[in-house]
Structure 1
Amino acid sequence: MIEVQVSMRVTGGHSSWDRSGQVVGDRYQLLQVLGRGGQGIVYEARDQRYGDLVAIKVLNDVLTRDPDFRERMFREGRAMTQLTGTSAVRVLDQVWSTDGALCLVMERLWGMELDDFLTDIEARGERMSPAFLLELLAPVVTTLERAHQLGIV
């Protein structure tokens, strides 16, 4: 089985300020913005307790104030912890910023952006074979199967 690790670039309009340098949850220092999306901003952060690099999604202030959304995020975070051993990003913790924003602490992924990966293939004039696509998507299918078994999807 090949191992291709890709991540998705998060884009979109989000009006929150850059929180780089802040500490959230009395433990995680936000280092730099990795991406922005409709739900919030994803930061690279350092766990001050263990020194590990993590990714933290700081949710949009408007969404964080919605009690239904907050509850859904807590449920999704708990559900994601059940998908250990799959290709799903692991949610490690859920904390609050000093100004009340909900923050999802996740494992930090390394690798090529999915968009860049596909652009490189196209630029070389290559096509992905059906066998390659099946091998690439097999972990995604396995993760969805596990999520379905757990009643997550």
Structure 2
Amino acid sequence: MIALIQRVRSASVEVGQEVLGAIGPGLLAFACVQPGDTPARIERMAERLAAYRVFPDAAGRMNLGLREAGGGLLLVSQFTLGADTRSGLRPSFSRAAPPDEARAGFEALLAACRARLPVVETGRFGADMQVALINDGPVTFWLET
């Protein structure tokens, strides 16, 4: 499983003209389920999203996770993170799970995050989504399990 996380001041996702999810300060996480991602990998990613230390403590150091710092998580499915871009001029998506497997894995990740955090918003799996954000820092990390 892959997640691209960004510390944000705010973020939202909409489909058409409808806002499906929005948060204030927190994390925006784009997630890609890969073939063979196990429940253990999904749980590990959920824990990392809740606890990865990207928020400043009283001394200004990145020592707090989302659970400690408070704020929301906006979780957005993004199969393009699984692209193989090593050659050619067109990405191959062989490193992303097929749609049915990806949907089940993403829904499991969403449930695991909601079990760990009080504010978890999301978009719509497989939809053409528009994501808006104000990156805080900027702080962006690539996580894999």
TM-score exceeds 0.5? no
TM-score computed with the length of structure 2 as normaliser: 0.28
Higher-Rg structure is 1
Q: Which protein is richer in helix relative to its size?
A: 1
Q: Which protein is richer in strand relative to its size?
A: 2
